[in-house]
Every structure is written in C-alpha cells, then in structure tokens.
Amino acid sequence: MSDIPSYEVKEINFQVKSTPESIARGKKLTMMLCANCHMNEETKKLTGKRMLDAPLEFGKIYSQNITQDKEHGIGNWTAGELVYLLRTGIKKNGQYSPPYMAKLPKMADEDINAILSFLQSNNSMVTPDDSPDTPSDPSLLTKILCRVAFKPFTFPSEKIEMPDTNNKVELGKYLAQNLDCFSCHSADFKTNNFLAPELSKGYFAGGNKPLDLQGRIMLTPNLTPDNETGIGSWTKEEFVNAVKYGMKKGEKALQYPMMPYTQLSDMEAESIFEYLQTIPGIKNKVERSIYE
Ligand code: HEC
Ligand code: HEC
C-alpha cells in the first residue's frame, strides 16, 4: 500500500509523421501544455524542475527531463510508449504518473502526432541535455489518491479526429477541453472528468484552488455565461485580451498560474469564447485572489 500503483503497459504502434507544419503545431501545443511544468529556466530546455505549485501535502514533486537525451531524457522511449503515457497516464515502466502530469485522453491523434514531432525535432528546447532527473517524493496522501481517486484512462480504441475548424463552437470546445482550461476553471481537480469534461462538477463555474509559486491559493474565475458572476457580459475582445495577454481592464494583470496563451491565434481564442457562451450559465461568485 506504500507506493504509486503500477499497471500493465500495452504495446502501441505509433509512427510519427513529421512535417514542418506538424512540428510548428507541436511547438505551439507543447508551449501551452507542457512547458509550464517541464521548462527549466537555467537550461532553457525541457529538462524539468521542482513543482513549486504542487500542494506540499502531495510531497516533493519534480517534473522530469523530456529532452532527447538517452540516459536522462526520453531519448530511449518509443513513440508508442510516449503516446501511451500521454493518453493513459502510465509510464513505460508501468508506474502511474502522479496527478500532476498532463493527461490527454481526448486530444485528436493529429495533435498528439504534432506534439511527438516537436519532441523529436531539432528545436533547442528538446535536443539532448544530460541534466539528471530528481525523482519525485510523493507523500502518502498522493499514493493513496493514486489508488482511490486518480486512475489511468483506457487507451482510446478508435482514432480521435480533429474538430471541424470552420465551426467555431466546435473548435472552441475542443480547445477549452484539451488545453485544460476546464480542469482549472471547474469546481475541483478531484471531481474533474477528463473523459466527459462537461460532467465535471461546476463545469467552468470556477472556484477551483490551484496554487501560485509561493503556495498560495489562486481561486479560478467563473467562465460560464452567467451575467453577474461569470463572463456573460464580456466582449470577445476583453476575453481575447485576458486569455492571450493576461490583461483585465482597470485591474491588475492576471497572475500565475493563469499564463498568457500568446500562442493562440485570435480566431482560436475567439472560438473558446463562442463555445463558452453556449454552455449552461452557473451562478457562482468567486472573489479574485490578490496578494501584495
Ligand atoms: C502540471 C505539470 C505538468 C504538465 C502540464 C506536464 N507534465 Fe509531464 N510530468 C510532470 C511531472 C511532475 C512528471 C514526473 C512524474 C513522476 O514523478 O513520475 C512528469 C513526467 C513526464 C514524463 C515521464 C518522464 C520520465 O522520464 O519518466 C514525460 C514523457 C512527460 N512528463 C511529458 C510531458 C508532455 C509531452 C507534456 C505536455 C503534453 C507534459 N509532460 C505536461 C508534470 C507535468
Ligand atoms: C493552471 C490553471 C489554469 C488554467 C490551465 C487556465 N486558467 Fe484561466 N485562470 C486561472 C486563474 C487562477 C485565474 C485568475 C488569475 C488572477 O486572479 O490573477 C484565471 C483567469 C482567467 C480569465 C479571467 C477571468 C476573469 O473573470 O477575470 C480568463 C478569461 C481565463 N482564465 C481563461 C482561460 C482559458 C481560455 C484557459 C485555457 C486556454 C485557461 N484560462 C486556463 C487558472 C487557469
């Protein structure tokens, strides 16, 4: 009972198809989805670091070196092993990766391919770097949670298609769910549903409690179209400015862990807005967490 559980690793055959377009798309997704945790300020590469915003009760959590180094990075992982981890949360040695690591059970195969093509590219963020990993030291609580609350996902049995990019609401939904917006902006990490995000408790109504780098709670705002407590009265421009640049009219800029999504095109950010306007409004007033 004293360890993170292990599971069977299914062998997945995945051929990465690399094109200049897939590498560019993969870079954009990696910057938005992985760099926040894996980027090391000293090496300027994805060599991992201490996760200062992981609640202390989870233990000491370190992200790992995911450059192409064969010994310290993931240079000796096959594409199939990587896809299996990203889809299910199970590492190549069978161990479940603690709740902190991103999981992408619903991302389109084409986008998974893009992330892998970037990780295998010659971009300086991912070329081999021999910085050693510091293993995480998960607490008993994390180990228990990984047995009772957090379970690996089943590997998808069918190909997952890209959304219709001409349909803004559909595109916005895909981005809002796969860029993890919903996981921070719903009620609680523990009640999020990654396979059916809409069934997450308080879907997009905020109140979740991620931490900043000093370990202080940063309450997440309500992004449902409720006029009083959500963003029902926001304009598209206000939304795009907040998401891409962290700007809020007449207020302090948005703080960590709400990172500016500068990689999103205006059209993509607007699509997220259009999607959010279609979901049920929920009345839930969240006070902004401001520390001086
Ligand atoms: C919220 C933080 C977070 C995000 C976001 C994140 N990771 Fe991780 N990742 C971690 C942590 C923490 C670990 C170490 C888990 C452990 O201790 O077993 C890890 C482990 C890994 C590993 C296993 C490495 C090894 O040697 O065992 C790979 C591969 C990986 N991440 C790739 C990615 C990719 C690709 C993305 C983006 C799609 C990503 N991660 C996003 C935190 C994160
Ligand atoms: C790691 C958690 C996290 C993720 C992921 C995240 N957010 Fe946030 N978001 C926050 C927090 C916390 C705030 C409040 C920051 C503050 O008060 O300074 C916030 C603020 C916002 C705001 C401002 C709302 C208001 O009422 O002030 C918008 C809009 C927003 N996020 C949209 C998004 C979108 C769109 C995505 C996905 C592309 C996203 N967020 C992903 C945590 C997150």
Residue pLDDT, tens place only, 203-250: 999 999 999 999 999 999 999 999 999 999 999 999 999 999 999 989
| Range 143-161 average pLDDT | 90
| Range 244-260 average pLDDT | 96
Judge if the beta carbon of residue 243 lies within 6 A of ligand 2. Answer: yes
Q: Is pLDDT of 68 > 50?
A: yes
Kindly report the CA angle at 54 between 60 and 68, in degrees rounded to 5? 75
Question: Encoding tokens for residue 51?
Answer: 């996760």
The residue whose CA is least distant from atom 14 of ligand 1 is: 63
Q: Is the peptide bond before 257 cis (omega within 30 degrees of 0)?
A: yes
**What confidence score (pLDDT) does residue 147 get?**
85
**What confidence score (pLDDT) does residue 289 get?**
97
pLDDT-based confidence at residue 99 (cuts at 50, 70, 90): confident
Q: What are phi and psi of 46, to 5 degrees?
A: -85, 65
Ranges 49-63, 68-82, 158-172, 226-240: which has the least confidence: 49-63
Distance 54 CA to ligand 1 centre (A): 13
**What confidence score (pLDDT) does residue 231 get?**
98
Q: Is pLDDT of 1 > 50?
A: no
The residue whose CA is least distant from atom 27 of ligand 2 is: 221
**What confidence score (pLDDT) does residue 190 get?**
86
Q: Is pLDDT of 2 > 60?
A: no
**What confidence score (pLDDT) does residue 3 get?**
84
Q: Is pLDDT of 160 > 70?
A: yes
pLDDT-based confidence at residue 263 (cuts at 50, 70, 90): very high
**What confidence score (pLDDT) does residue 141 get?**
86
Domains identified in the chain and CATH numbers: 20-148 (1.10.760), 168-276 (1.10.760)
pLDDT-above-90 percentage for the chain? 88
pLDDT, tens only, 177-212: 999 999 999 999 989 999 999 999 999 999 999 999
Q: Is pLDDT of 270 > 60?
A: yes
What does the CA dihedral 247, 248, 253, 258 come to, rounded to 10 degrees? Answer: -70
Ligand 2 atom showing the smallest separation from residue 183 Cα: 5
Judge if the beta carbon of residue 197 lies within 6 A of ligand 2. Answer: no
Give the chain's mean pLDDT: 95
CA atoms of 44 and 25, how far apart (whole Å): 20
Judge if the beta carbon of residue 255 lies within 6 A of ligand 2. Answer: yes
CB 275 within 8 A of CB 176: yes
CA atoms of 164 and 174, how far apart (whole Å): 10
Q: What is the chain's length?
A: 292
CA torsion sign for 113, 116, 120, 125 is: positive
Judge if the beta carbon of residue 51 lies within 6 A of ligand 2. Answer: no
Q: Which comes out higher in pLDDT, residue 143 or 203?
A: 203
CB 85 within 8 A of CB 91: yes
Distance 38 CA to ligand 1 centre (A): 7
Pocket of ligand 1 (CB under 6 A): 33-34, 36-38, 51, 61, 63-64, 66, 74, 82, 85, 91, 97-98, 100-102, 115, 136
Ligand 2 atom showing the smallest separation from residue 32 Cα: 38
| Range 1-24 average pLDDT | 91
CB 153 within 8 A of CB 88: yes
Diameter of the chain measured on Cα atoms: 53
CA atoms of 98 and 76, how far apart (whole Å): 21
